Structure 1
Amino acid sequence: MSQNDKEAKEAVDQAKDIVIESLGETMDLYGVTRSVGNLYGTMYFEDSMTLDEMREKLKMSKPSMSTGVKKLQEFDIVKQSFRRGSRKQTFVAEKNFFSFFNKFFTQKWEREVKFNLEAIKEAQPILEDVINTEDVSQEIRNEAQSINAQLEYSKAYYYWLEQLVEGIRSGKIFEVFPPDQNKNQDY
């Protein structure tokens, strides 16, 4: 390999590393460890990878790679693939960020809706008992009423979030906010 090719290859690897680090940091913001995010980013630039290839690229243990791949499979952003002539399992990452967005974020938002609506459903009867108990001070009853009203108001957000998830899953969101494939500008 010529010196120019070596330098060019290093520049390409540096550019990939910048994006991999960014993907890892972004996924970390949403509760996926940075190492799993870096794994996704690394796989994003490859056609398919075995656990051994992942381990070699990321210098992590094979069990860590396996755990990371399983986590990414739970979000349906990594799938097992077939590589002719290989007995080892290979995996491929979702390359389409619209599909990634759909799969990754909708699962996170559905979980948020489920947990919070269940918590509200459990908390409101407790608050209503306090509100309806006459031998409790008006101050405590007012606090219970205020909290109950806050919870009731918050339900609108969770119902809206359910609609957003459905809009993303069905593709209707792209009717309102169509992706501009020709827009390549610096931000």
Structure 2
Amino acid sequence: MKDNEILDKTRTMVIDAIAQNMNLYGITPSAGRLYGLLFYSDKPLTLDEMKEELGMSKTSMSTSVRSLLDLNMVEKVWVKGERKDLYTIKEDWYQCFFDYFTIKWRTAITMNGTAMEKSISKLKELIANPETSDEVREQALLDLKKLEDRIDYYDWQNRLIDSFETKEILDFIPIEKKKE
């Protein structure tokens, strides 16, 4: 096997792993491959260059770039004399991790928390209603307890996310390993 083939094979292995891993987090494999391509690129790339390299449609390429931009994993860069948009990965992987999880977790917490708060309100009305049967009231009280416990969990998650955003988490788990 020639040196170039070995180099290409090692890159493909990593790009495939990144694509599969990102799929676990709800990012399409094509966006994962795009991220891998940008990771190995020595320069920012245009949509056309990425499309040509990966053999993806322009629509799929645009969607992938947009999702990576939304997650702060890639950024648009300006190069003097270049008219087309250019993209590159954000080099700070720690910040990408923080951004990704804070974006995804906050969305889930907000969605679930809102639904639970509305349910808690309705359950309290149901419990307070004198016409509610004892059986339904008992079940509503159990549901209320479950939801209130879950709200406490979401409060903890929000505080964890806050520690990511402020980087306070790094006081407990520093980026650099402690020397033994």
TM-score norm. by structure 2 comes to 0.91
User: Aligned partner of 2:39: which letter?
Assistant: Y
User: Aligned partner of 1:20: which letter?
Assistant: I
Query: Does structure 1 residue 57 correspond to structure 2 residue 70?
Result: no
Q: Deviations over 1:35-75 (max 9, x none)?
A: 11221122122231110111112110112111211111111
Q: Deviations over 1:136-175 (max 9, x none)?
A: 3222111111111111001121111111111111111111
Q: Match for residue 9 of structure 2?
A: 14
Q: Match for residue 28 of structure 1?
A: 23
RMSD between aligned alpha carbons?
1.8
**CA distance in structure 2 between the aligned counterparts of 1:143 and 1:32, rounded to whole angstroms:** 39
**CA distance in structure 2 between the aligned counterparts of 1:140 and 1:38, rounded to whole angstroms:** 52
Q: CA deviation at 1:95?
A: 2.4
Query: Does structure 1 residue 130 correspond to structure 2 residue 141?
Result: no
Q: Which runs of 5+ in 2 are unaligned?
A: none
Q: Percent identity?
A: 31
Q: Which runs of 5+ in 1 are unaligned?
A: none
Q: When the two structures are aligned, how many residues end up with a matched partner?
A: 178
Question: What SS is found at the alignment partner of 2:79?
Answer: coil
TM-score norm. by structure 1 comes to 0.87
**CA distance in structure 2 between the aligned counterparts of 1:19 and 1:153, rounded to whole angstroms:** 41
Which residue of the other structure, out of 144, 154, 161, is the alignment partner of 2:150?
A: 154
Q: Match for residue 62 of structure 2?
A: 66
Which residue of the other structure, out of 138, 142, 146, is the alignment partner of 2:138?
A: 142
